[in-house]
Amino acid sequence: MRVSIAGGSGYAGGELIRLLLGHPEVEIGQVTAESAAGHFIHSVHPNLRGRINQKFVPISELEPCDLLFLALPHGMSMDRIDEFAKLAPRLIDLSADFRLRRAAEYPRWYEREHPSPAWLERFVYGIPELHRQEISRSNYATGAGCNATATILGLKPLFQAGVVERAVVEVKVGSSEGGNSPSLASHHPERSGSLRSFAPVGHRHQAEMEQELAFFGKPEIYFSATAVEMVRGILMTAHVFTKEKLEERDVWKLYREAYADEPFIRLVHERRGIYRHPEPKILAGSNYCDIGFEVDETAKRVVILSAIDNLVKGASGNAVQAMNVMCGFPETAGLEFTGLHPI
């Protein structure tokens, strides 16, 4: 199967290439980039030196292929979706352009009208752990926000069980989440060692969380995001207040039932050692979402922890996983890397 990538010079694009190079069922067709067009892919993604000998092509030269990944900046896919749909029978979009079901949400969260609202219902919100069947029957999947992925996967069993009063979510994120465009905020002397509350309220990914956790009406989620010293990775800490007091065995039961068969979700809850809870650093490069918890014995509160690599399970790895589901490949194909320790 021939797979191309529109928008291959960003961080998610680079990870897509890396993962697809190791995928037994596909070959990489074209990879587009505009300012880097004509340059070797490894000039932008130095880890791929010696692995791929192709050059970037401009998006105007994209040829038909069997599946097209869209890893373009937010707002570009929605403008050209009809064009892309003619190039490939299957599309997987990593941007936010088709994540929200209701067109009315776009002006609120993304400050613009959606130009192709009819396409919204054709796209499946492409996290296989949430919508595996729909993805397998669809030709169009959208990726999810990285913070939304960590949060939704971490909280779904509790919301689904209808036990949540409210959830207060704090994510800690690395600098790669901001993409590859330099700014004063990303300038190393400023960003290094920072603990920057860049979205104490009002983060866009909240729209996705509310959409995907709306089992019984709008879920009560309060979200904030803090940038920490890290390049890759997200740790979500959720203080979940429950309607009734939950015991440890209750929580275990809900999460085991939800995720026992998931190849990329690991429940992490140890009594000893220094890795008792999920830690994103050991997930760098892997597609795992590690989930853990701690019950507050003194209150109707459970603290849920989840960790992912924002560029893998939070972006490109999840997209490859969705492709595997969509195309009937083994779900873990190309996604076997297990992470490093120490790191």
193 binds its own copies per the rule CB under 8 A: yes
Query: How many residues bind to its own copies according to rule CB under 8 A?
Result: 91
Least Å distance between CB 78 and its own copies? 25
Instruction: Specify whether 146 is catalytic.
Output: yes
* DSSP-assigned states of every residue in 51-116: T---B-B-GGG----SEEEE-PPTTHHHHHHHHHHHH-SEEEE-SSTTT-S-TTHHHHHHSS--S-
CB of residue 62 to its own copies, shortest distance in Å: 24
Among residues 94, 295, 308, 323, the one that binds its own copies under rule CB under 8 A: 295
- Paired strand residues for 213: none
The reply to whether 303 sits near its own copies by the rule CB under 8 A is yes
- Picking from 39, 37, 104, 32, the residue whose alpha carbon sits closest to that of residue 73 is 32
What burial class does residue 116 get, using C-beta atoms within 10 Å of its C-beta: 0-12 exposed, 13-18 middle, 19+ buried? middle
Q: How far apart are CA 119 and CA 116, in angstroms?
A: 6
> How many Å apart are CA 237 and CA 78, to the nearest integer?
32
Of 162 and 182, the one with the shorter C-beta distance to its own copies is: 182
Q: From CA 326, how far away is CA 126, in angstroms rounded?
A: 10
Segment contacting its own copies by CB under 8 A, of 84-92, 136-144, 145-153, 185-193: 185-193
* Residues within window 154-183 making contact with its own copies, judged by CB under 8 A: 168, 170, 172, 174-176, 178, 180-183
Per CB under 8 A, contacts with its own copies among 270-289 are 270, 272-275, 277-286, 288
Report long-range pairs for 114-122 (Cβ below 8 Å, ≥24 apart). Answer: 114/78, 115/78, 115/79, 116/78, 116/79, 116/81, 116/82, 119/78, 119/81
Picking from 167, 162, 166, the residue whose alpha carbon sits closest to that of residue 216 is: 162
What residues numbered 42-61 form the site for its own copies, per CB under 8 A? 43, 45-51
Q: Which of 1, 2, 21, 87 binds its own copies (CB under 8 A)?
A: 21
If one asks whether residue 136 binds its own copies (CB under 8 A), the answer comes out as no
Q: Of the two residues 104 and 340, which places its CB atom closer to its own copies in the complex?
A: 340
One residue of 60, 195, 218, 244 binding its own copies per CB under 8 A: 195
Q: Given candidates 102, 112, 187, 243, which one binds its own copies under the rule CB under 8 A?
A: 187
Q: Under rule CB under 8 A, which residues in 221-260 are in contact with its own copies?
A: 222, 224, 226, 228-233, 235, 237, 239
Q: How far is the CB of 105 from its own copies (least distance, A)?
A: 14
Q: Tell me the per-residue interface mask from 93 to 122 with its own copies, x by CB under 8 A, - otherwise.
A: ------------------------------
Catalytic residue among 65, 146, 289, 327: 146
- Supply 247's token pair: 């015991």
For strand 289-296 and strand 27-31, is the pairing parallel, antiparallel, or unpaired?
A: unpaired
What are the residue numbers of the active site?
146
